[in-house]
A and B are shown apart, each in its own frame.
Chain A
Amino acid sequence: MKLDKTLVLKIASLAKIPISEKEADELLSGFNKTLEVIDNLFSVDVKNIEPLYQTTFLENVFREDIVDEKSMLSQDEALREAKNKYNGYFVVDQVLEED
């Protein structure tokens, strides 16, 4: 497996992380070093082996659907750490554009 710079820039945009050209080069070289190490994965015999996504083997852990007011944040608390707020709202970047 090997990545190229176009793919690195594409992944950065999917990750919503701005990166410079220089950084893209550095990341690319790191990725390819890492992928060399990962390649040995494909030499392991995994025929007839089901993938495993967790180790607890627990299934369907439910709880009562009851509102616990003690674990709720007040509006002030919820907004406290936001850098950008307006009239009790979080301010977000514009998503929709005028056509």
Chain B
Amino acid sequence: MLNTLTLKKALTLLEKKEISLDDLYHDLWKVYEEKNQLLNVYLSVDKDALKKAKENENKPLKGIPIAVKDNFLTVGLPTTASSKVLDGYLPQYESTVTKKIKEAGGVVFGKTNMDAWAHGSSTETSDYGPTKNPRNPKFLPGGSSGGSAAAVASDMAIASLGTETAGSIRQPAAWCGVVGLKPTYGRVSRYGIIAMGSSLDSPGPITKTVEDSAILLNIIAGKDKKDATTSEKEVPDYTLALKKDIKNFKIGIVYIDHPQIKSTLAAQKTLEAGKLFEKLGAKVDLISTSKNLEKDKVLSHEHAIAVYTIVQRAEVSSNLARYDGIRYSNPRKYFGHEAKNRIMLGIFGLSNFLQQEELVYKTAQKVRALYIKNFKQLFSKYDLLISPTSPSFALPLGATSGDPMFGELQDMLVEPSSLAGICGISVPMYKDAKTNLYLGLNIMADYFQEEKLITAANIYELNNKI
């Protein structure tokens, strides 16, 4: 089954002409026919994918099929962000990221299901029904890039693209047992991606291996004159980081002393990951959590939930104001419950209906500044920080109902890093033999230090037998 190949392996075999695109796509369509109805991974697929692949076989990505989250605008395939507001919308222009993938010879095989407007961490708030976890279909895949993570985990794509605002790449990657890389904010262009939290949104790869994430990051990273927040910083060859070792790396373990996390299996496995890094030559410290900003301690993730809730909803209320049903889209009454909830809470945070001393939004942005100070201080001492990606394994289908804070609780350990805009990667840490579900290790690095993430995650992946 060629659809089970990693990106690297598929590229190598195509290069040597040991496999053909015909066979690769044959196997891919076969698994699509078998599994898509049950798992609800793809909202739309490109019937002409093979033809397009063959036109690109001499380019770097050689016609490889890539699954793309349905919030990237793609010419020729509908783009809905899993909301009925955009039902049937056919974009008039292409997102920068998918343009780069296509120019490099990749094929957008299909558009994947997500939480509507990326508002959630379960893919259960999609207006087109939930995606199921390929490792165990009674469970959620996580989200909001749940479809993209499930596409990779079910071998319905060789690799995929997601977006993360706070956890939406790393948490579904963790729950589906695959690799998810959230680049530094500004490393990858947001142009042509349906905006959610504009000061936070970071597109990135979800793949079978760390190596595959490095290959895709090489293609999608870089300055885009259409997105003024992208960085001028030169894009290194991220695959070179795969050859480096972690001797002399200083690694700090964070958040696992917190009462909510302390007794979890995820905390225990993170400690074991720390031991493994130590064995492999890194210096590893346990960092304690503090309620207020303190030197050499990590600021509690609890406040990040509050900050994120305020900031994200405020940005949502502004970004979703453009869906007025005039130039495109259905009218605003088509918004689902969660979108209404977030838009309205955003308006609340940006107004001062309760005549408070200071706007809630402003207080939130002050605490956000504290997180940045905190990370800057910690990264002056450490190369990497590690924690569980999510405190638990995937939760069962239906777990989100009636809980407006579901997402924030599942994402709480990655939210501080998202608010600060630094980079992180989730790599499979542990697999439960009985349920077949996974835990992920979250590795975080300072701004534009993706190479360090890739080096450490790659070494961990090669040495952590699960």
Q: Which residues of A come within 8 Å of B, CB atoms?
A: 1, 3, 7-8, 10-12, 14-19, 23, 26-27, 30-31, 33-34, 37-46, 49-56, 58, 61, 63, 71, 73, 77-78, 80-84, 90-92
Contact = CB atoms under 8 A, between A and B. Distances in A.
Interface of B: 89-90, 92-93, 185-186, 199, 225, 228-229, 231, 291-293, 302-303, 305-307, 309-310, 317, 324-330, 332-333, 335, 337, 340-341, 343-345, 347-348, 351, 353-354, 356, 360, 362-370, 372, 404-405, 408, 419-421
A1 B354 contact: yes
Contact of B90 (A14, A51, A80, A91): A80
B344 A12 contact: yes
Contact of A56 (B229, B306, B340): B229
Contacts of B369: 49-52
A39 B360 CA distance: 10
Contact of A61 (B228, B337, B366): B228
16 contacts: A10-B353, A11-B347, A11-B353, A15-B317, A15-B340, A15-B343, A19-B340, A37-B309, A37-B405, A41-B367, A45-B292, A49-B369, A52-B365, A52-B372, A56-B186, A56-B231
A30 B46 CA distance: 39
B186 A83 contact: no
A2 to B, nearest CB: 8
7 interchain residue pairs of minimum CB distance: A55-B421, A81-B328, A51-B365, A52-B369, A61-B228, A46-B366, A30-B404
B465 to A, nearest CB: 37
A82 B292 CA distance: 51
B93 A51 contact: no
Contacts of A3: 348
Looking at A14, A23, A51, the one whose CB has the most chain B CB atoms below 10 A away is A51
A26 to B, nearest CB: 7
A48 B161 CA distance: 40
A61 B356 CA distance: 35
Contacts of A55: 185-186, 199, 372, 419-421
A88 B93 CA distance: 20
Contacts of B199: 53-55
A44 B344 contact: no
A38 B325 CA distance: 33
Given A44-B367, A52-B369, A90-B327, A73 B421 contact: no
A82 B370 CA distance: 44
A23 B337 CA distance: 9
